[in-house]
Structure 1
């Protein structure tokens, strides 16, 4: 039984169909560490469910492995990201450049370095989170949405926002293996010292037994085909 006590319920922060390759519905800590508030964090990507291996990109696997993939060839890159809750924006950092394409070996090396050697006292949090938005939902509950597309953030610090408002677009900034949305709840507005807070989504659908089924207050696994509109 996974540890998941009294999760905070928020709205799913994306629209359309998604897969969560890293989710607390499958393992805790979902990202293999408790650092940077990631204990209960989610990653979301879009994939081609009809191709072998359900790749997240439109090109062939050999190109992905050896020459890299342009960001525009990823299904989720540039998709709109929505506020999961009512709240106030307490952090909004843009301007962190994205690489023009993914590179398997370089991205793996960067991920390993940041996972094992990131020092919050001297390293820039954007080297990990990339372009991000942090929303204060309630006392000691903050939502972080990370790796956003450069130049896409549409909110600013101090702004009151409503659940469902567009805040930016899915990108590949910071410590990102491929374009995706990293989403987490945490107990501090400072990612470098935050602890993760359990989170579930108030409603979404999963494709099961050849039909879409509504899930309420759910936590998807890494096998679930998720849909929300």
Structure 2
């Protein structure tokens, strides 16, 4: 059984690491759905900033397309076979400030609804018995289908805000089974490294 998997960053440009297993495990505060070593990447402008926080940001949801990375390409981080591609979930508004509190209180509903409610639009790629998931893609943007062979750097879809997401980002995790509900988490690195929370990545 492979203890870890080294992959490429699934994007180009400037992104910031969030909920990194380099900073804590389980990285997202739960081991549910084999997410112990999952990591999020939030797209930013070249100076490392996401959408500016305004007074409105603190009191009401914001359109997802206000954020600099909404619609930015997400790429295959490794070669393999696409074993799942789901792209019909809606992109919802982003939640910061007070709206994020209300959104957090409804997270248990999404968790109870299962993988798709949490992952939103996603692509799963299998390589050597390990499956890598990219989640929260933009509705209608997925360019691949189940059974398709992909190589590192192939376009999979666009960064979105579907599923359990408070702002546009891509969630990456590796697992040891195609069925997420019975899988175990697999550690990942990116070009031999793993960024910590808050670290800026330029790919």
TM-score, L = length of structure 2? 0.90
Q: Is the 8 A contact 2:43 2:168 kept in 1?
A: no
> How has the CA–CA distance of structure 1 residues 175 and 89 changed in structure 2, closer, same or farther, with 3 Å as cutoff?
same
- Give 5+ residue unaligned stretches, structure 1: 203-216
Say if 1:108 and 1:177, in contact at 8 Å, map to a contact too.
no
* Structure 1 residue ranges, 4+ long, deviating more than 6 angstroms after superposition: none
Helix, strand or coil at the partner of 2:134: strand
Indicate conservation of the 8 Å contact 1:92/1:133, yes or no: yes
Which position in structure 1 is the counterpart of 2:151? 162
CA RMSD between the two structures: 2.1
Report the Cα offset of residue 200 of structure 1. Answer: 0.3
Q: Contact 1:40/1:197 (CA < 8 Å) preserved in 2?
A: yes
**CA deviation string 1:41-63 (max 9, x = no partner):** 0101123576xxx6521x44312
- Say if 2:197 is the partner of 1:219: no
Q: Structure 2 matches for 1:68-87, cutoff 5 A?
A: 68-87=61-80
Match of residue 58 from structure 2: 65
**TM-score, normalized by length of structure 1?**
0.80
Higher mean C-alpha deviation, range 169-178 or range 61-70? 61-70
Please say which structure displays the higher CA radius of gyration: 1
Which segments of 5 or more consecutive residues in structure 2 lack a partner in the other structure? none
Would you say 1:136 and 2:129 are equivalent positions? no
Q: Look up the match of 1:16.
A: 13
> What is the rounded CA distance, in whole Å, between the counterparts of 1:190 and 1:115 in structure 2?
21
Contact 1:107 1:176 in 2 (8 A): no
Partner of 1:199: 188
Measured after TM superposition, the shift of residue 129 of structure 1 is: 0.6
- Residue pairs, 1:168-207, within 5 angstroms: 168-202=157-191
Write the distance in 2 (CA, Å) between the matches of 1:6 and 1:39.
13
**Partner Cα separation in structure 2 for residue 49 and residue 16 of structure 1:** 7
Q: Which has the higher strand share?
A: 1
Shift of 1:66: 1.1
Q: 1:189 to 1:227 in 2, by over 3 A?
A: same
Structure 1 residue 108: deviation in Å? 4.0
Residue-pair matches, total:
201
